[in-house]
Structure 1
Amino acid sequence: MKNVLVISGHTDLNDSVANKIVLEELKKALPQAEFDILSEEYPTFNINVEAEQHKLRKADVIVWQFPVFWYSMPSILHRWIEKVCVHGFAHGSTGTALEGKKLIPSFTTGAPEVYYSHEALGYTIDELIGSQIKSIAGLCKLDLQPSVYTGGVSYALRSDAQQLEEIKKLSKEHAERLLEQIKQA
């Protein structure tokens, strides 16, 4: 069985609907997977680099689960990458620890997917997020898998019962697609 490491980059899962549901569904379906909830492990962003690198060494499949904040990854996930995926470990002539490991980016946006287009925003989601992830994966020699993406799941809509049900439905569908991607990796 593949060793799966799911890294949650949400800064506050207590204030989430979609990412919280995705993680709950993954935990039910993948009880053997390791879940690294960065906001719980490192609320002050003081990353335990050695512990995180150990988790990565064990993993065959790595999932980055996060919401898109301000057209990028949340700050805690970015900080984790900065501290953990360093020269000599993840890249450079001796940095081969991540080489060949499967990376599955899994992310959500509050705005509907149609918003991330050249017509609406001037950029696609792949140009905003995908290019960052492709660059990181390439540098670290990770085997980048197709992203799993869902838009239109803003926590701001949760006060409307009908919209909340739609967010829950979309989040569960996202988790199903992600599980399929993990199985294929």
Structure 2
Amino acid sequence: MTLMILSHPNFEQSIANKTIVTELIKQQHDLEVRHIYELYPDYQIDIAAEQAALLRHDLIILQYPMYWFNMPAILKIWFDQVFSYQFAYGSKGDKLKHKKLLASLTVGQPEQNFIVDQKNHLMQSFLKAVQASAQYAQMDYVDPVFLYDISTAIGHSEIQIQAKAKAHSQHLNTLINTLHQSKK
């Protein structure tokens, strides 16, 4: 089964993330979505509930918009508290071992704004901490997926953004199915 940790502080106003989640729920009937801003508006994470959710699933998707070249604040707090000693790491901290972690980000700007040269893509460097955290918790880090160029501020209509988000959701659906098949 798949768990999505949704971290969007303005989800109701979102076009891309809301479309991605809505479409993916239609395609993945065993998908559990935990919208952590909605669950914890006071940022007081229920660590036991979040750890229990992680234990129920083999694939964890982090779905969020890129904020200032990083994850939203609550997702960082979630990592800090949920990936705890003797749960995610330490001598008995193997509870996440071999679970897959996939980051799915929405980015307002076009992809070319993040390409330094043929060998260097800034988005990969922005996710080094997520990758290192997954590896430290003995998880299998899956190459992230990005949805670029989705800002209404740079002239895209809601319909254009929804179309891109639906394609992203379909890509995620295919990836989820492939990852689940590779486990069998």
Fold similarity call, TM over 0.5: yes
Residue 91 (structure 1) shift: 0.9
Does the residue aligned with 2:97 lie in a helix, a strand or coil? coil
Residue 154 (structure 1) shift: 1.8
Aligned counterpart in structure 1 of residue 149 of structure 2, from 149, 152, 159? 152
* 8 Å contact kept, 1:18–1:155: no
CA 1:87–1:155 in structure 2 vs 1: closer, same or farther (change >3 Å)?
farther
Q: Distance in 2 between matches of 1:74 and 1:6?
A: 15
Residue 132 (structure 1) shift: 1.7
Q: For residues 1-185 of structure 1, what are the structure 2 equivalents within 5 Å? A: 3-118=1-116, 124-129=122-127, 131-156=128-153, 163-185=157-179
Scaled by the length of structure 1, the TM-score of the pair is 0.90
- Post-superposition Cα deviations, 1:107-143, rounded to whole Å, max 9, x if no partner, equal 1101111111226xx96111112x1221111111111
State the superposition RMSD in angstroms: 1.5
Q: Distance in 2 between matches of 1:71 and 1:142?
A: 23
Larger strand share, 1 or 2: 2
For residue 97 of structure 1, what is the amino acid of its counterpart? K
Q: Identity rate of aligned residues, in percent?
A: 31
Unaligned runs of 5+ in 2: 180-184
* 8 Å contact kept, 1:9–1:37: yes
Aligned structure 1 segments of 4 or more residues deviating by more than 6 angstroms? none
* 8 Å contact kept, 1:15–1:155: no
Q: Distance in 1 between matches of 2:11 and 2:153?
A: 14
CA 1:47–1:103 in structure 2 vs 1: closer, same or farther (change >3 Å)?
same
Does the residue aligned with 2:172 lie in a helix, a strand or coil? helix
Scaled by the length of structure 2, the TM-score of the pair is 0.91
Count of matched residue pairs = 177
Unaligned runs of 5+ in 1: none
- Post-superposition Cα deviations, 1:38-74, rounded to whole Å, max 9, x if no partner, equal 1110111110000000000111111100110000011
Residue 163 (structure 1) shift: 2.5
